[in-house]
Amino acid sequence: MKDEDYMQLAINIAKVGIGQTNPNPVVGAVIVNDGQVIGIGAHLKAGEAHAEVHALQMAGDKAKNSTIYVTLEPCSHFGKTPPCADLLIKSKVKRVVIGTTDPNPQVSGKGIKKLREAGIEVDLGIMKLQADELNPVYYHYMDTGMPYVTLKSAISLDGKIATSTGESKWITGERARLDVHMYRQIHDAILVGVNTVITDNPSLTTRLPNGNSRNPIRVILDSSLRTPLHSNVIQDDLASTWIIVNKSVKQEKMKPFIEKGIRIIPIQDDIRSIKNVLKLLVENGISSVFVEGGAEINGSFLKERAINQVLTYIAPKLIGGKRAPTSIGGNGIEHMADVFQLSVKSVEQLGDDIKIVSEPIRL
Ligand SMILES: Nc1c(/N=C/[C@@H](O)[C@H](O)[C@H](O)COP(=O)(O)O)[nH]c(=O)[nH]c1=O
């Protein structure tokens, strides 16, 4: 096998950690000696062993004179675990092949320097594009200190999310709705507005057929605490629920929610500012947010352009009606020159529906 093949293997192994390692990146490692794979590893949880550590443990002393393929530059600083660069030197690895460098200023280039100074051959940038594509959440967080935002809509061909009487079950089919749960699984939080809780009484849990689903934290934007106490997100005890409210909400109004184990977070700044909400979430350890609307909430994310990925599921249905809501409310963009421009990353058919993944154009 070529270097690229082993790196592709490391990239595939890295993916097992997606949604589990935040705020750390996912990383994969493969150790090869004499054409034999003798160790593999993935980073599975922040604070636990890095991919290289798992792979080196599996390789044991056969790591001596081996080549390790690692998707991200080995760390060289003492984080929650000792530096991997030191461990690679101690294990007498002969060659290190790296997918991409780490955007973390604490790490970038230092690991490579340490390895080379120890006489280890280092090759850089093998399958760099694919290695970079592993960590959109980590790169965004390193870049901006803010959570990565995925905005999801499920619409009819004419762009509606419900009928004019508010009915929306269902617009998209089983297969598309299941796909949504894969995204819920890998995001730290799912965010909706209180109107969605009132109209849909959603569970916002991850329900995948294989049963062992991981639930995101359910975040409700609800300035005056209008969330009904009998809502699923309050009563079902299936996942954590945080309600972000205005700081003016009275303590006694919060009491019944707090007694149910709901976390009420009064925001000190203006709750209508999505940037303030995202800042509060990242301060509470949230690195990625899955926004499931409704239209008004989506409208505020668009207004502030706080969107990193757009997931659109389109059903071959027509709903019509000028009062039937579309997926993005608010005042919208007035001039085409100010339109929020994206580029389509993928289009696929899921059952009868079409799924489009798009990302903002990097200006
Ligand atoms: N109406 C539809 C959706 N509707 C999305 C939200 O309005 C719902 O409240 C939310 O998905 C319900 O979450 P649950 O209770 O956990 O299932 N979303 C979809 O993908 N297709 C739809 O046809």
Residue 363 pLDDT greater than 70, yes or no: no
CA 47 to ligand 1 centroid distance, Å = 34
Q: What are phi and psi of 316, to 5 degrees?
A: -75, 65
What pLDDT does residue 352 have?
98
Q: How far apart are CA 167 and CA 165, in angstroms?
A: 6
The answer to whether 196 is annotated as binding is: yes
167 among annotated binding-site residues: no
Orientation angle between helical segments 51-59 and 3-14, nearest 10 degrees: 120
| Positions marked catalytic | 52
Q: What is the pLDDT of residues 136-181, one digit of tens each?
A: 999 999 999 999 999 999 999 999 999 999 999 999 999 999 999 9
pLDDT in tens, 213-238: 899 999 999 999 999 999 999 999 99
Nearest CA to ligand 1 atom 16: 204
Which atom of ligand 1 approaches the CA of 207 most closely? 16
pLDDT at 79: 72
Distance in Å, CA 197 to ligand 1 centroid: 11
Residues 345-351, mean pLDDT to the nearest whole number: 98
DSSP string, 119-162: T-EEEE-TTHHHHHTT-HHHHHHHHHSS-EEEEEEEEETTSBSS
Q: Give the Cα separation of 122 and 104 in Å (integer).
A: 19
Ligand 1 atom, smallest distance to 294 CA: 7
Judge whether 204 is annotated as a binding position. Answer: yes
What distance in Å separates the CA atoms of residue 255 and residue 262, rounded to the nearest whole number?
A: 10
Tell me what the pLDDT averaged over the chain comes to: 95
Nearest-atom number in ligand 1 for the CA of 196 is 9
The identity of residue 14, as a single letter, is: A
Which residue ranges have their beta carbon within 6 Å of ligand 1? 154, 168-172, 177, 180, 196, 200, 202-205, 292-293, 313
Nearest residue (by CA) to ligand 1, atom 19, is 154
| pLDDT category of residue 212 using cuts at 50, 70 and 90 | confident
DSSP string, 310-329: EEEEEES-----TTS-BS--
Q: Which atom of ligand 1 is nearest to the CA of 169?
A: 1
Is 198 a residue whose pLDDT tops 90?
yes
ipTM: 0.95
318 CA to centre of ligand 1 in angstroms: 18
Does the annotation place 297 within a ligand binding site?
Answer: yes
CA gap 78, 284 in Å, rounded = 23
Q: Beta 309-315 vs 148-156: how paired, if at all?
A: parallel
Q: How many Å lie between the centroid of ligand 1 and the Cα of residue 29?
A: 38
pLDDT tens for each residue of 250-290: 999 999 999 999 999 999 888 889 999 999 999 999 999 99
Give tens-digit pLDDT for 13-49. 999 999 999 999 999 999 999 999 999 999 999 999 9
